[in-house]
């Protein structure tokens, strides 16, 4: 399996598994035993990098709650030393918004909760899930340094980081990776490439398939009532029409590489920079395998640039940019 280094010393598989969907965001959570089995199967097929978060909980139809970190922890308990587990702190659901809180006391409580749910004594990569404007990057980085000194975490990162925040945080405690939204439909953070290279920080790409749209299989899908995609702009009727050319482009490139559109979406970013690691989410083993195998697709620099040039021009709908946040 292809591996990559995030910053100087965190070795991960070139594709990680986004575990969120097993309990959060995409309709009812998967049955707990099924989810544990699927995450474990991902390990068996070669995944060594797993992404979860404190907030990825979900309620089953019978009212019981599924905690994503528990699923990941149970699935990987006996191979714990062979995998990299990333989790996140700093947001809580608040109606239709996210409440951000990265105060040192909250982080301290969060880390203890995550360690317990994961059933581990350390977290390999601990992300601040969203920037909290009421806490400085220096203060957050200071807590991260303390947690590293105490052995509770080994590396840290920032999700939806901007350049200024990253620079300031990194000056206090070395940042290993940023985890930002990045896909063929959302390339905003390409502007961070120079600073990521200068500071030697990895880019973990979340929603790399634009929440499934770039697989070419979902355009007219009807989602469950509590699926967040009902409100995402890339899944409306009008967006379906507008994105046809993009889907056809993916299908055409896929044909050339004897691959699938999902694999092309991932291979495009994997071949773009050696420090980009996508974490597509899937609850299906065949798709997990498909996504993992995207790391074997080779594209030249010229091919990646040609695709970029087309993406610059091709019509596409708006794409989901994240849930609104609020702070104290
Ligand atoms: N840091 C953050 O704020 C943040 C935000 C969102 C997500 N994330 C992380 O990023 C991970 C991935 O993001 P995401 O789930 O939002 O979006 P995504 O990976 O772009 O898309 C996931 C969707 O695509 C489908 N899919 C995946 N592979 C497929 C394939 N090969 N063929 C067909 N369909 C496929 C999945 O459906 P099936 O399950 O039915 O296969 C799922 O509905 C999450 O699991 C989470 O760990 C982080």
Q: pLDDT-derived band of residue 222, with 50, 70 and 90 as boundaries?
A: confident
Average pLDDT over residues 16-25: 96
pLDDT score at 96:
85
Residue written as token pair 């035993």: 33
Top mutation candidate among 212, 297, 320 for ligand 1, by most atoms within 8 Å of CB: 212
Edge-first strand order for the sheet with 84-89 is 17-18, 49-51, 84-89, 125-128, 156-159, 177-181, 202-206, 276-278
More confident residue, 323 or 113: 113
Burial call 186-213: b when 16+ CB within 10 Å, e when fewer: beebeebeebbeebebbbbbbbbbbbbb
Q: Which of 184, 211, 280 to mutate to test the pocket of ligand 1 (most atoms within 8 A of CB)?
A: 280
Q: Is pLDDT above 80 for 221?
A: no
Distances (CA, A) of 72 to 19, 75, 78, 113, 247: 8, 5, 11, 14, 33
Q: How far is the CA of 279 from the centre of ligand 1 (A)?
A: 8
Contact 215 CB / ligand 1 (< 6 Å): yes
**Length in residues, the chain:** 328
Cβ of residue 20 lying under 6 Å from some atom of ligand 1: yes
Q: Do 272 and 307 touch, CB atoms closer than 8 A?
A: no
Q: For 54-67, how does the pLDDT look when each residue is reduced to its tens digit (9 = 90+)?
A: 999 999 989 999 99
Query: Ligand 1: does its nearest atom lie under 6 Å from the Cβ of 266?
Result: no
pLDDT reading at 319 higher than 70: yes
Query: Tokens for 252?
Result: 């055409």
Does residue 275 have an active-site annotation?
Answer: no
pLDDT at 94 over 80: yes
Percentage helix, strand, coil, to 5, in the chain? Answer: 45, 20, 35
What mean pLDDT comes out for the span 190-218? 96
State the CB neighbour count (10 A cutoff) for residue 150. 10
**What does the DSSP 8-state code read for residue 170?**
H
Residue 81, class by beta-carbon neighbours within 10 Å (0-12 exposed, 13-18 middle, 19+ buried)? exposed
| 258 Cβ contact partners less than 8 Å away, ≥ 6 residues apart | none
Distance 169 CA to ligand 1 centre (A): 28
Residue 282 CA to residue 21 CA, distance in Å, equals 7
Mean pLDDT in residue range 80-104: 95
Q: How confident is the model at residue 309 (pLDDT cuts 50, 70, 90)?
A: very high
Q: Which of 58, 209, 228 to mutate to test the pocket of ligand 1 (most atoms within 8 A of CB)?
A: 209
Residue 219 has pLDDT above 80, yes or no: no
Please state, in angstroms and rounded to a whole number, the distance separating the CA atoms of residues 48 and 84. 6
Q: What HEC string does 64-88 produce?
A: CEEEHHHHHHHHCHHHHHHCEEEEE
- Residues 267 and 304: their CA atoms lie apart, in Å, by 9
CA 298 distance to own-chain centroid? 22
Nearest CA to ligand 1 atom 15: 281
Portion of the chain with pLDDT greater than 70, in percent: 99
- Marked catalytic residue, from 56, 67, 127, 182: 56
Determine the Cα angle at 205 with ends 36 and 131, to 5°: 95
DSSP 181: E
Please, which residues bridge with residue 127 across strands?
88, 157
**CA 219 to ligand 1 centroid distance, Å:** 15
Fold of the domain built from segment(s) 3-212+269-298: TIM Barrel (3.20.20)
**114 falls in which pLDDT band (50, 70, 90)?**
very high
The per-residue pLDDT for 32 is: 96
Mean pLDDT, the chain, rounded, equals 96
Q: Which band of pLDDT confidence, cut at 50, 70 and 90, is reported for residue 126?
A: very high
Average pLDDT over residues 256-265: 98
Domain residue limits, the chain: 3-212+269-298
């Amino acid at each position: 399996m292809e591996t990559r280094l995030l910053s100087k010393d965190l070795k991960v598989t070139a594709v990680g598994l986004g575990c969120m969907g097993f309990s959060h965001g995409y309709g009812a959570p998967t049955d707990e035993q099924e989810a544990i089995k699927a995450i474990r199967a991902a390990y068996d097929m070669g995944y060594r990098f797993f992404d979860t978060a404190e907030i990825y909980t979900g309620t089953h139809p019978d009212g019981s709650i599924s905690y994503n970190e528990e699923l990941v922890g149970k699935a990987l308990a006996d191979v714990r030393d062979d995998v990299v587990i990333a989790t996140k702190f700093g947001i809580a659901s608040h109606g239709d918004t996210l409440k951000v809180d990265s105060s040192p006391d909250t982080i301290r409580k969060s880390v203890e909760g995550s360690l317990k749910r994961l059933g581990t004594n350390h977290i390999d990569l601990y992300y601040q899930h969203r920037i909290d404007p009421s806490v400085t990057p220096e203060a957050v980085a200071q807590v991260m340094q303390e947690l590293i000194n105490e052995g509770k975490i080994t590396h840290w990162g920032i999700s939806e980081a901007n350049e200024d925040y990253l620079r300031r945080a990194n000056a206090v405690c070395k940042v290993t990776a940023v985890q930002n939204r990045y896909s063929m439909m959302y390339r905003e953070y390409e502007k961070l490439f120079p600073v990521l290279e200068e500071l030697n920080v990895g880019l973990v790409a979340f929603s790399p398939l634009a929440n499934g749209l770039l697989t070419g299989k979902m355009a007219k899908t009807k989602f469950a009532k509590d699926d967040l995609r009902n409100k995402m702009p890339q899944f409306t009727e009008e967006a379906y029409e507008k994105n046809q050319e993009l889907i056809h482009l993916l299908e055409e490139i896929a044909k050339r590489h004897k691959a699938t559109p999902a694999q092309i979406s991932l291979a495009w970013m994997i071949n773009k920079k050696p420090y980009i690691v996508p974490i597509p989410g899937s609850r299906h083993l065949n798709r997990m395998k498909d996504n993992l195998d995207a790391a074997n697709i080779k594209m030249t620099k010229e091919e990646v640039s040609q695709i970029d040039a087309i993406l610059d021009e091709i019509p596409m709908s708006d794409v989901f940019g994240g849930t609104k946040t609020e702070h104290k």
